[in-house]
Structure 1
């Protein structure tokens, strides 16, 4: 009871203890540490999962440029799609369209032999008619478009009107990043770019491997299938290059970690100061209790209880706030980058934050608890 009073009652006059700063410090420390680890978990998840940036395939190939293929692309696609190690294969023509002054690198979504490669969508669906289009997030923002918006696009001699069916990521191409561009059906691509100077600007392929197939095994099997096609030596498949955004995110993770460490030190200072101050300013209360029979061990327990109550208060408020703050900040980062938002969670941080906080608080209580245990009641009361 005395320890709880020391932790939660500020007192008056010479017996006043900085209770509010200690509680707020404990909350800030727990919040900061948990938020930092949770945010770092979001960064680690994005770095480890390329699909957060829309990359759901493991291999890519370059088929052609400016309306001309560098090899028998159709035969290669059919041969590769027949491999049992291949789960999905997209044969993609790319064309440059414009709408309202915004350039739109438009990708043809054309699965080979029905082997689809999933597209990461943040809203809506992929187009299923020639009049539909799925925009990448930044392109949609530039056009101020959303699902259901109607756009007038120019790609060939005749402008076309298309309806936005979804928002999703596209491949990272020679003239666009993964968040800029659009998806079209083969029929939509033909209508938009029909009669253009070139049938396509680029011709690419994206391939996803069957789950459980190692990347090295997949590369060997796919390129072996390519080698069976005459004249296809230059159409080999290789892993995509990592996006520079990943490096930026890794650098960004240092900032919340530093802030979390600073808040943890602030919490240790606030709680430690409150414990020390309580022994010094409320020594009279302890001395009276010692005169009534309180033992040195029980005096030490008063300070330990005070530290534990402050820690529990910090945990009760700091844990939910830390999770909320981390997820709000990570969502803001995901929208800014952009990338597909996945709620971050560091399970180990969530499991260990409570015992670590209680341990730290009790270590802080060792020195002031020792002072309370060695308190000389007679001397204190005579002085008072």
Structure 2
């Protein structure tokens, strides 16, 4: 019994194999075309989706692999008490530290004290306890990490700006830290000598954890030097007296002769991870405030005190995610569109390949082959081509995965390996195979069915066309809407139009934001920053310098960090005139008085705050409570080497609000709160009169610039808009939506040409009958042209409104993610061009098949049919 069953099964398989060979005969080129379409289109789609996935995950993977700590704290004052406070804070599991050295990459020629490091050209660091080796490890692009001796590791920006490579020997000059910290007490004409000169070998170049995003505000030239080389210029943390002490003696304690250390940074691993960082920072800030109250009055009067300057890793990760979101979105859209287009074309090709097998299937039926066997014989070669195509797609996707992360994420994965992430490939391949096999099954069973088919009821549009009395028009519309394949073709065209228009609408609004700095918070013609963002703006000198007809308005803002509901948030506070330079408002109103403040939209979302909520803002100087009046877009400004405001992040504090928050510190220091607040001013925004060139204006006031800084340093100046990292990344990828639209449009044009050509071949009998009945070649060509234009017309009728809706929704979600007002714009010109281009493509797609149809002899066609 079993043997008989096996023989029957073998016989059935043998018959199936012979039938499948007959089905393949003469159709190998078409089947190869299916393989090619799937391999190229699917491979491009998989590669794009893999790149999106790797871009989205690159920084988080780096943070984990490099063991980057949850937060870095700079106490401002480097004392033994600062370290003790940090070490004793509940929740701190592990501490690694490094110090910033006052050094320059030059020969150390004597110079005025105010010009020792004009522009803060090098941030030279050294770690005594393994930071950057055991924790917070940078990504090495070239060479290696330092090990000892006279070795130097440079950031990519530093290597580029200084023009050095791995293996180069560079000069380093170390200066007394007190030369910069005590400038306000020394004559700017005094020439100073370096504490020492060294030569270092560049052994590595890479990217630090906080150097991934583009920074247009400050030079980001970070370097790490070995302990051996820096040892002569290090000094222990200061021990400050409790009793009254002259300021000069305090300066010597903080910055002893020969010591180049300016600041110390503590990198903290926190129990509970990112969720517990706010609590730890609140505790440290409270202890710093208590410790500041014990400082000598002379120090407080000079604003020399503890105040916490944190850099939260989770905030940096969030900024990077926001910055990369446009790139990730564009890649995902491209991947889905490329994969979808290849699937649609493959299914259409499968249907077209299976349909001509119907006469052969009738023969099989006549010799006794059951329907399942007929369908299987048709399906086997089709399924084989589908399987080969998908295998090719996966292979090409793997080979193309080397593009790896894009935009800023490339910095943490400079040499990506070839990989196919399971979370990307398995769903894409699974869905694709399911769709393709379903198409193969439907096509095979439809072709294997030999009973008479009843024509479907004509579509309403075809019925309406018939009333026109125009035969070519009527036949063209009817052909476009006839049969099950018509639904697929029309759906593909609608999808193509809405995708192209949606991409163009998104790209148009993206370009408007990039080209309108006020939208992302920079509404100034020129600007400057004193004291590296930590203060020292000389408001009286600034007012005297800017009191001229070329200036329509100016303002000074204080920058810093505050604690809001347990989370460190950068703030921008109004000082002289800054309230007159309004920031973009997303919701509500700008803040006024001492009882209101504004927040960035993303900060409000993260902390679950709304307009009208009452919050307490705590700083190292004190705290104050106010009501949120609105959500605003802040400019990308803040102190150097710390978190800063930008787009949807940060707080805006009116001048009276800041002064109320400083009252307790001012009382302790016996100074006026307004004076203390003015000492924190550092950002100078300038609104020039119409027609005034910013470069020419700043050149005209160049001699006054050092007077804008109370310590006599030359400030950072800006004549071009400073873009947030998110906008810089968006600008780098702004062509991606347009590229997507071009690719989809090209694929749609090719697909439409294939469909019309196949339709012309399928309608040979109908067109031949028309010729016999007296139709001219022009009328035959017209019917094919109307068929193509009907497909295009349906695509435009449904695709245009859906495309506008898609573009608007996508842009609104993107703008909301950036924390800016959507400000939607629809370009009528681009919409009209897309519609016109679709019509032209439709006419062009019909031209070649139409000419070929008119060359065929009607008698020969009818005889063959």
Please tell me the TM-score bracket, short chain as reference. 0.7 to 0.9
Q: CA deviation at 1:147?
A: 0.8
CA contact (8 A) 1:122 1:168 kept: yes
- Where does 1:129-278 land on structure 2 (aligned, <5 Å)? 129-155=593-619, 159-171=623-635, 172-174=637-639, 175-178=643-646, 179-196=648-665, 199=676, 201=680, 203-223=682-702, 234=714, 237-239=717-719, 241-278=722-759
2:29 alignment counterpart: none
Query: 1:30 is matched with which residue: 476, 497, 500?
Result: 497
Query: Are 1:359 and 2:840 counterparts?
Result: yes
- The 1:372–1:257 alpha-carbon spacing in structure 2 relative to 1, beyond 3 Å, is same
Provide the C-alpha distance between the structure 1 equivalents of 2:828 and 2:480, rounded to a whole number of angstroms: 36
Query: 1:86 is matched with which residue: 551, 567, 573?
Result: 551
Provide the C-alpha distance between the structure 2 equivalents of 1:254 and 1:66, rounded to a whole number of angstroms: 34
Query: Are 1:55 and 2:534 counterparts?
Result: no
2:782 alignment counterpart: 301
SS of residue matched to 1:195: helix
Q: CA deviation at 1:233?
A: 6.7
Provide the C-alpha distance between the structure 2 equivalents of 1:273 and 1:159, rounded to a whole number of angstroms: 70
- Where does 1:272-351 land on structure 2 (aligned, <5 Å)? 272-351=753-832
1:6 alignment counterpart: 476
RMSD of aligned Cα (Å)? 3.0
- The 1:296–1:359 alpha-carbon spacing in structure 2 relative to 1, beyond 3 Å, is same
Provide the C-alpha distance between the structure 1 equivalents of 2:754 and 2:609, rounded to a whole number of angstroms: 55
- The 1:230–1:101 alpha-carbon spacing in structure 2 relative to 1, beyond 3 Å, is closer
CA contact (8 A) 1:150 1:161 kept: yes
- Could you report, residue by residue, the CA deviation over 1:309-354 in whole angstroms, capped at 9, with x for unpaired residues? 2222222222222222122212222222333323144454223212
- Could you report, residue by residue, the CA deviation over 1:68-87 in whole angstroms, capped at 9, with x for unpaired residues? 626xx122232244222222
- The 1:111–1:27 alpha-carbon spacing in structure 2 relative to 1, beyond 3 Å, is farther
Provide the C-alpha distance between the structure 1 equivalents of 2:715 and 2:533, rounded to a whole number of angstroms: 16
- Could you report, residue by residue, the CA deviation over 1:194-233 in whole angstroms, capped at 9, with x for unpaired residues? 2338935553221122233222233234546658989867
1:76 alignment counterpart: 541
Q: CA deviation at 1:260?
A: 2.3
- The 1:215–1:264 alpha-carbon spacing in structure 2 relative to 1, beyond 3 Å, is same
- The 1:8–1:189 alpha-carbon spacing in structure 2 relative to 1, beyond 3 Å, is farther
- Could you report, residue by residue, the CA deviation over 1:79-137 in whole angstroms, capped at 9, with x for unpaired residues? 2442222222121123432121112333222353x982121110111112201001122
CA contact (8 A) 1:41 1:346 kept: yes
- Could you report, residue by residue, the CA deviation over 1:287-325 in whole angstroms, capped at 9, with x for unpaired residues? 222222101111111111211222222222222222221
SS of residue matched to 1:284: helix
CA contact (8 A) 1:95 1:202 kept: no
Provide the C-alpha distance between the structure 1 equivalents of 2:480 and 2:792, rounded to a whole number of angstroms: 17
Query: 2:581 is matched with which residue: 117, 130, 133?
Result: 117
CA contact (8 A) 1:81 1:115 kept: no
- Could you report, residue by residue, the CA deviation over 1:244-269 in whole angstroms, capped at 9, with x for unpaired residues? 22231134434433432332233224
Query: Are 1:128 and 2:597 counterparts?
Result: no
SS of residue matched to 1:256: helix
Structure 2 residue runs without a partner (length 5+): 1-470, 670-675
SS of residue matched to 2:645: coil
- The 1:187–1:365 alpha-carbon spacing in structure 2 relative to 1, beyond 3 Å, is same
- The 1:269–1:361 alpha-carbon spacing in structure 2 relative to 1, beyond 3 Å, is same
Provide the C-alpha distance between the structure 1 equivalents of 2:745 and 2:785, rounded to a whole number of angstroms: 19
- The 1:115–1:202 alpha-carbon spacing in structure 2 relative to 1, beyond 3 Å, is closer
Q: Which moved more, 1:326-335 or 1:149-158?
A: 149-158
Provide the C-alpha distance between the structure 1 equivalents of 2:810 and 2:534, rounded to a whole number of angstroms: 44
Provide the C-alpha distance between the structure 2 equivalents of 1:265 and 1:102, rounded to a whole number of angstroms: 49
Provide the C-alpha distance between the structure 1 equivalents of 2:550 and 2:487, rounded to a whole number of angstroms: 63
CA contact (8 A) 1:151 1:162 kept: yes
SS of residue matched to 2:527: strand
- The 1:123–1:68 alpha-carbon spacing in structure 2 relative to 1, beyond 3 Å, is closer
Provide the C-alpha distance between the structure 2 equivalents of 1:229 and 1:128, rounded to a whole number of angstroms: 27
How many residue pairs align between the two structures? Answer: 378
Provide the C-alpha distance between the structure 2 equivalents of 1:192 and 1:228, rounded to a whole number of angstroms: 28
Bigger Rg, which one: 2
- The 1:221–1:227 alpha-carbon spacing in structure 2 relative to 1, beyond 3 Å, is farther
SS of residue matched to 2:718: coil
- The 1:224–1:316 alpha-carbon spacing in structure 2 relative to 1, beyond 3 Å, is farther
SS of residue matched to 1:93: strand
Provide the C-alpha distance between the structure 1 equivalents of 2:718 and 2:759, rounded to a whole number of angstroms: 67
CA contact (8 A) 2:530 2:709 kept: no
Under a length normalisation based on structure 2, what TM-score does the superposition of the two structures give? 0.41
